[in-house]
Structure 1
Amino acid sequence: MKATLVIGNIGELATPTGSSARRGAGMSELRVVRDAAVAIDVETIVWAGPAREMPPVEGPAPEFVDAGGRAVVPGIVDSHTHFVFGGYRAEEFYWRAAGLPYMEIHARGGGIANTVRDTRSASLDDLLASATPRLERMLELGITTVEGKSGYGLDLDTEIRQLEAMRVLDARQPVDIVATYMGPHSIPTEYKDSPSGYIDFILRDVLPRVRERGLARFCDVFCEEGVFGLEDSRRFLEAARDAGFGLKLHADEIVRIGGAGLAAAMGAASADHLLKASGDDLDAMARAGVVATCLPVTAFTLREPYADARGMIDRGLAVALASDLNPGSCYSQSIPLVAALGVLYMNMSIEEVLTALTLNGAAAVGQAGDRGSIEPGKIADALILDAPSFRHLAYNAGMNIVDTVIKRGKVVSVRN
């Protein structure tokens, strides 16, 4: 066996297994190995198991990373973020905390229109400068792959600029970025009386440019009452699918309109939020293999009920957990908080939480075939925790216990 790096002296190796999302009861099935080792050849895992059973390494001696008897888990895949944007909306956070209704916040100039204005005025360099430290924080938290959405331009030039920023950032730093075009994130003022007209504009002027330049892997739509209804959402998703994009939906977050059912019918990779999704639509998602992505920190910051992750898992769904980092409803990329909320308020086991943050997150962005677990043949994305067991991910509530991040077979972050 050839290897360029070996992680040894692992007290506990904990990982889901497989190359697709784990559903239902399968989410709690982890491979847990005591006194383990992981061998990596360049950027691919070639061995993961009991250290005493690891085959001898041929050729030059590999780099050795001593886990110091601590736990090792897969790199986190944050499958739902809006991390490229201009400006901030701190005042809205405190307005909401003081109990101001949404319409009053809107009347004061708040809401997504605020971010659209600031993002439209931001240059590419501005977007790169603000997004770079967010990615640095992600890496420290153990996020090795992140999905990023556009959707703060609601036009041609700014949407392209957001996606171009993600392409540049993907090449500049270690975190892999999966880009999603989300032009139908809101209705721009130019089309305030015609959401269908805005979809026409997207299909005619924007989507072809995104495709021609290869700027996104997925397309997403905010399928919600008062934003984009089922007909306009379906029309956009069908065009995106025909253009070769994977599909995602913000579905049934505020009002139940059947977005989860549309996700199932369209064969989407994931449907996200799902606070108001019906049981029938969730069952349809389970049958169609659509990942249900829950975003607990958004519910936490909005002081809203949490998505019924327990019910979804019991229905046989594959559930992913993600941060929903954005400047309005959830200005946080805290994976430690996501893990704690998953256990404390969504009735998930810690095994299910780990699967939701890794393999199922990878499946939600079409990447479960090569990441999301520590197995031979997968990309070598792994975390050494400053803890003896993966169970500390939620137990050490809200705290970052990631000590060392290994990305594509290289040590890219070490605490202190």
Structure 2
Amino acid sequence: MGEVIYTGGGIATMERRDGDPLGRIADGAVRVSNGRIVAVGARDDVDAADAEVIDLSGQWLTPGLIDCHTHLVFGGTRAQEHAMRRAGATYEEIAEAGGGILSTVRATREASEEDLLAAARKRLEALAASGATTVEVKSGYGLDADSEVKMLRVARALHGHAGVSVVPTFLALHALPPGVDRADYVEEVATRTIPRIAAEGLARSVDAFCERIAFTREEVERIFTAAEREGLPVRLHAEQLSNSDGAAMASRFKALSADHLEHLDEAGAGAMAEAGTVAVLLPAAFYCLRETHRPPVELLRETGVRIAIATDCNPGTSPTLSLPLVMNMAATIFGLSPEEALAGMTIHAAAALGLDDRGRIAVGQRADLCAWDVETLDELAYWIGLPGPARRFVADDER
């Protein structure tokens, strides 16, 4: 690969400078060699010799967006539940009526890998068009070892499609399969499924759903201990519908992230801050579920917990394929600043995935970049339905 220099526009480095959390350079340049950034600065300070020059034409250059929480691989849809919810049914009532996660489990088990891959590719293409260059993809709709492995193989096959890096996560405890003993199921996942997935290199981390309609802290701890033994970092769906003290428990395992967090309390936030666990907020799920108890954003700020945001793309509670829309929701519904929204889909989203080679425009980082046709970066969280970047540039060294 030759060397390229991007110039003629603004640069959001995402590295604080002169009090600016986005590290903006109004008239900047970025030099790239072999898919990595080798120089960043004011236009006159970056050597353009022997490089292909790409004129940004006044656009703003940001890191490529990172969607750090999705359930992108699944069979079927749950469009009928949308009508049930509009008629007043709750998350729990839909699950008890045979809908919810288990309906997607049935469709996912019945689908072939080829069908799952074809459907997931279309969703990934939509995320890419909205600015994604890295997307996390969870399993969790199989609920038996072979089906979970099938989902993770599909996630691995997605890697590189539409110029997106895919980061697979094994969602080890999502829902209890019908007719299965709880203790036996948890033990099977801990002692057989996690070691199998680790041995085959199918996942980068292990996740679980700690909630009154899902799994207890003690059950999740059993899974996290197994993941720790296999060298896999952990993440957690925590405090979405109630305060189960999941975030504090996950922090004891140095979890990469705790996600949702509508019912997070001071003890949980303090534990996350001490552990360096990232808070992943999911405003589209909050919107689709018509929740009213917002996550404690001010508490997260006060305790210094990093805030990421993500689509939570899934068939039941967040059929969302637009990263800019989620940035708008994070600002409008949760009260994040435009700067926090952008950081939440770049530098902090990278941290939520345990990735230190992306999310910033800095020397040594991957050259995953988006050029936005906006006058100011505040517009990224301002427009409802912004179609995505004018141009997206991706490093192809791993694709």
1:38-187 matched pairs, under 5 angstroms: 38-57=30-49, 61-106=50-95, 108-187=97-176
Query: What secondary structure does 1:202 align onto?
Result: helix
2:184 to 197, 201, 206: 197
Residue 143 of structure 1 aligns with an amino acid whose one-letter code is A
Query: What secondary structure does 1:233 align onto?
Result: helix
Partner Cα distance (1:238, 1:318) in 2: 25
1:322-361 matched pairs, under 5 angstroms: 322-361=310-349
Question: Residues 172 and 34 from structure 1, CA distance in 2 versus in 1: closer, same or farther, beyond 3 angstroms?
Answer: closer
1:380 to 367, 378, 394: 367
Query: What secondary structure does 2:222 align onto?
Result: helix
1:290 to 256, 269, 277: 277
Listed as ranges, the gaps of 5+ residues in structure 2 are none
How far the C-alpha of 1:246 sits from its partner, in A, is 0.9
How far the C-alpha of 1:356 sits from its partner, in A, is 1.1
Residue 363 of structure 1 is matched in structure 2 by 351
Q: Is the 8 A contact 1:7 1:38 kept in 2?
A: yes
Q: Is the 8 A contact 2:264 2:296 kept in 1?
A: no
1:217-248 Cα offsets, whole Å, 9 max, x none, are 10001011232101111010011011010100
Query: What secondary structure does 2:179 align onto?
Result: helix
Partner Cα distance (1:146, 1:171) in 2: 10
Residue 23 of structure 1 is matched in structure 2 by none
Q: Is the 8 A contact 1:27 1:318 kept in 2?
A: no
Query: What secondary structure does 1:189 align onto?
Result: coil
1:26-37 matched pairs, under 5 angstroms: 29-37=21-29
Partner Cα distance (1:249, 1:107) in 2: 23
1:392 to 367, 379, 388: 379
1:213-252 matched pairs, under 5 angstroms: 213-252=200-239
- State the TM-score, normalized to the length of structure 2: 0.95
Q: Is the 8 A contact 1:5 1:409 kept in 2?
A: no
Question: Residues 235 and 104 from structure 1, CA distance in 2 versus in 1: closer, same or farther, beyond 3 angstroms?
Answer: closer
Partner Cα distance (2:183, 2:13) in 1: 45
2:17 matched to 1:4?
A: no
Question: Residues 46 and 317 from structure 1, CA distance in 2 versus in 1: closer, same or farther, beyond 3 angstroms?
Answer: same
Partner Cα distance (2:138, 2:310) in 1: 13
Partner Cα distance (1:264, 1:106) in 2: 29
Question: Residues 390 and 3 from structure 1, CA distance in 2 versus in 1: closer, same or farther, beyond 3 angstroms?
Answer: farther
1:307 to 295, 301, 304: 295
Fraction of identical pairs, as percent: 37
Partner Cα distance (2:91, 2:254) in 1: 33
Question: Residues 102 and 353 from structure 1, CA distance in 2 versus in 1: closer, same or farther, beyond 3 angstroms?
Answer: closer
Runs of 4+ displaced beyond 6 Å: none
Q: Which moved more, 1:307-316 or 1:320-329?
A: 307-316
Backbone CA RMSD of aligned residues: 1.9
Partner Cα distance (2:96, 2:268) in 1: 35
Q: Is the 8 A contact 2:131 2:388 kept in 1?
A: no
How far the C-alpha of 1:197 sits from its partner, in A, is 1.7
Q: Is the 8 A contact 1:73 1:390 kept in 2?
A: no
Structure with more relative contact order (C-alpha pairs < 8 Å, separation 6 or more): 1
Listed as ranges, the gaps of 5+ residues in structure 1 are 19-25
What is the number of equivalent residue pairs in this alignment? 396
Q: Is the 8 A contact 1:72 1:390 kept in 2?
A: no
Partner Cα distance (2:20, 2:122) in 1: 34
How far the C-alpha of 1:110 sits from its partner, in A, is 1.2
Residue 22 of structure 1 is matched in structure 2 by none
Question: Residues 281 and 104 from structure 1, CA distance in 2 versus in 1: closer, same or farther, beyond 3 angstroms?
Answer: closer
Residue 21 of structure 1 is matched in structure 2 by none
Partner Cα distance (2:98, 2:270) in 1: 40
